[in-house]
Amino acid sequence: MPNLEFKSQSPKPEEFKALLLSVGWGEPEQYDLSELQTSLDGMTKIYTVYNNAELVATARILSDNSSTTQIIDVIVKTNYQRQGIGKKLVKEIMQDYAHTAIYTDALIKNKDFFESCGLHNKNEKLIVFSKAPE
């Protein structure tokens, strides 16, 4: 088992970029480090997992800390998936923000994962709207 350290801190943008690329989210030229830093700075809280000095997982949230919390994403490096890391991150979020409603949107392939964490699909009540950046 790796030597995993769970933290509540923002990763460096270079680390976050490497994590995004490691799971197939985009191409290197797609990510500007200053824009990634702005994205990281805009989060209410970021949960990170390191194996020694290597960033292997993050979970980012936005919350008003009163009524609503949004899980923006849970990203676990491919070779660390299916070891309970993502589930532990979601459980920490659910514990830390139990006093709020917690929402996330997810790809269909991740439906079972979020349900296994205790979140419920409300597709009969909610729909997702989006707009791509210009």
pLDDT per residue over 63-81, tens digit each? 999 999 999 999 999 999 9
- Per the domain annotation, does 84 fall within a domain? yes
Q: Count CB atoms within 10 A of the CB of residue 65.
A: 12
51: tokens are 């194996």
Inside any domain, residue 68: yes
What is the distance between the alpha carbons of residues 50 and 74, in angstroms, rounded to a whole number? 14
Helices (H), strands (E): how many in the chain?
A: 4, 5
95 within domain boundaries: yes
Tell me which amino acid residue 85 is. Answer: I
Q: Give the CATH number of the domain where residue 69 resides.
A: 3.40.630.30
Tell me what pLDDT residue 52 has.
92
For residue 130, being part of any structural domain is answered with: no
Please give the single-letter amino acid code of residue 16.
F
Where in the sequence is the domain holding 48, given as residue range(s)? 4-116
The number of distinct structural domains making up the chain is 1
In a domain, 76, yes or no: yes
Q: What is the pLDDT of residues 86-127, one digit of tens each?
A: 999 999 999 999 999 998 888 778 888 888 888 887 776 666
Question: What's the pLDDT tens digit per position in 11-32?
Answer: 999 999 999 999 999 899 999 9
Please give the single-letter amino acid code of residue 130. S
In a domain? residue 129: no
